[in-house]
Structure 1
């Protein structure tokens, strides 16, 4: 089986796991929650349906920008502008993992609705995040090594081909991390019944889905995927959050976000996703770009990339005030 087919089946398998997990989050709640009126349900449903379309467009624009941009000199993968845009996107992804996803995981797994034993006696959030990061490293290294052995045997891999292989698996692992947290956060929006929560969450999702798409699209371009694989990955990314919102709307009548099962499932998945995103942002996006000879020999580009990295991380961090 080719690496492209293996990756495709891995994506489908990951999505099926997430869909199955969504069915586990209903349960008896031991914490009080507010009653929601029919009028409130009607208003929130309109915003949720609008969010599906808006976030779909933002995601598609983000992931397609680097793919289409390679036809334009200013946005070509080797241009200085592309480096700056990609580091901005990496900053957004890094901030998403540290500031948005990981704190949500801590909140879920330290909830008073969970039993003190074992959830209060061990930092499961940190453990799950570490597993996500180490698992990403192992998958990345194994898949890259396997591909080299299959295609090149023990021969030395040329520098350009080596970079292409790394970009290939960077794109696959990054998309896995994005899929996990995008579906989970989509479910959170779809099940929410508060307009005060839904409105800022929509804005934050549009922002980070766009720039996560830019980061993923950059990996796709650098890996030089075939057209079919590129289309598949772009569609998969664009649909994950809207699918999560649709799932959330579908299970909102039976979903109880304060139930122990919901808190455990969502908390663990959020923590693993945070570990994947942090690993990918630092290792497969930022490390590759900042260690690139082109950036290290161009002082203006180097400081510009540092600035856009801080701006991306900062803007995404500030959004945590509202969502």
Structure 2
């Protein structure tokens, strides 16, 4: 919860407003963490599940289901992204107050060459990104915590908890930054932070409740968890690369400031590198 709340509370801190350099660097670091979560944690877990020796050789060993599912998950996320933007344009027209509030953010977040400075269009974009990113985080969080809750191996759980706290915190910062830029009302912000916060205890509690019947190496569990992880990996990788990193690095703020752009790349590498190192334990 703290990770998601920090960016929202930062509105009261001038140095951490969305148009400031510290905000850009923190968001870049968090984006690197999310990217590494997809590639270094969720995707390998899916490979392990769907290529397990506990599954029948046919068809699971004859076709790369993990990358196939992740690929189409990314395409499906693009479709959701695109259709959601079209729907918002037709059905959701921000009022003048929302436009004025967005202008005060002063943070260009357009997709590369689109160069759309329309505040209403930016606001719609922020909201789509926040909603789709939360969906991906919630899905993979529940799956991972389910396995952790069902595990009775203390030696495995202890390092796993530390690694999960690290990536959950910075995923929260990334999501919180998107929610902040989406300029939602307080009620909607509270709802999104609440759902992000309860996924971990819910997944663990569900795993504990199912510990007597849930078997990690059962064919059904391996297939279900493997598919969900592959879907989550495709979604997280798309969101990290397209909606978070590409949109920020191709925006005017970073394009016009080479020094800030370079430092932001360092922040991305540090975030992705730190999360990758965590793969040793989790």
**What TM-score does the superposition give when structure 2 sets the normalisation length?**
0.90
CA distance in 1, matches of 2:81, 2:70: 16
- Number of the residue aligned with 1:183: 142
- Number of the residue aligned with 2:225: 266
- Number of the residue aligned with 2:181: 222
Answer yes or no: is 1:150 the counterpart of 2:91.
yes
Specify whether residues 304 and 158 from structure 1 end up closer, same or farther in structure 2 by C-alpha distance, changes over 3 A only. closer
Q: After superposition, give the CA deviation of every residue in 1:189-218 in whole Å (9 maximum; x if it has no partner).
A: 101111111011100110000000000011
CA distance in 2, matches of 1:127, 1:164: 33
What is the root-mean-square deviation of aligned Cα atoms in Å?
A: 1.0
- Number of the residue aligned with 1:126: 67
Q: Which has the larger displacement, 243-252 or 70-79?
A: 70-79
CA distance in 2, matches of 1:224, 1:142: 21
Structure 1 unaligned segments of length 5 or more: list them.
Answer: 1-59
CA distance in 1, matches of 2:183, 2:57: 50
Alpha-carbon shift at residue 281 of structure 1 (Å): 0.4
Structure 2 unaligned segments of length 5 or more: list them.
Answer: 94-115
Runs in 1 of length 4+ with deviation above 3 angstroms? none
Q: Which has the larger displacement, 299-308 or 157-166?
A: 157-166
CA distance in 1, matches of 2:30, 2:150: 28
CA distance in 2, matches of 1:241, 1:313: 22
Q: After superposition, give the CA deviation of every residue in 1:58-100 in whole Å (9 maximum; x if it has no partner).
A: xx10000100001111111111000000000000000000000
Answer yes or no: is 1:312 the counterpart of 2:253.
no
CA distance in 2, matches of 1:265, 1:61: 30
Answer yes or no: is 1:231 the counterpart of 2:190.
yes
User: Is the partner of 1:70 in helix, strand or coil?
Assistant: helix
CA distance in 2, matches of 1:163, 1:197: 44
Answer yes or no: is 1:295 the counterpart of 2:236.
no
Q: After superposition, give the CA deviation of every residue in 1:31-68 in whole Å (9 maximum; x if it has no partner).
A: xxxxxxxxxxxxxxxxxxxxxxxxxxxxx100001000
CA distance in 2, matches of 1:315, 1:112: 31
Answer yes or no: is 1:197 the counterpart of 2:138.
no
Alpha-carbon shift at residue 254 of structure 1 (Å): 1.0
Alpha-carbon shift at residue 158 of structure 1 (Å): 5.7
User: Is the partner of 2:62 in helix, strand or coil?
Assistant: coil
Q: 2:17 aligns with which of 76, 89, 99?
A: 76
Q: 1:251 aligns with which of 202, 206, 210?
A: 210
CA distance in 2, matches of 1:223, 1:111: 41
Alpha-carbon shift at residue 247 of structure 1 (Å): 0.3
CA distance in 2, matches of 1:133, 1:203: 29
Q: How does 1:55-70 map to 2 (within 5 A)?
A: 60-70=1-11
User: Is the partner of 1:255 in helix, strand or coil?
Assistant: coil
- Number of the residue aligned with 2:234: 275
CA distance in 1, matches of 2:11, 2:39: 30
Answer yes or no: is 1:139 the counterpart of 2:98.
no
How many residue pairs match? The answer is 260
Q: After superposition, give the CA deviation of every residue in 1:208-234 in whole Å (9 maximum; x if it has no partner).
A: 000000000111011111111110000
Alpha-carbon shift at residue 101 of structure 1 (Å): 0.3
- Number of the residue aligned with 1:212: 171
Alpha-carbon shift at residue 151 of structure 1 (Å): 3.7
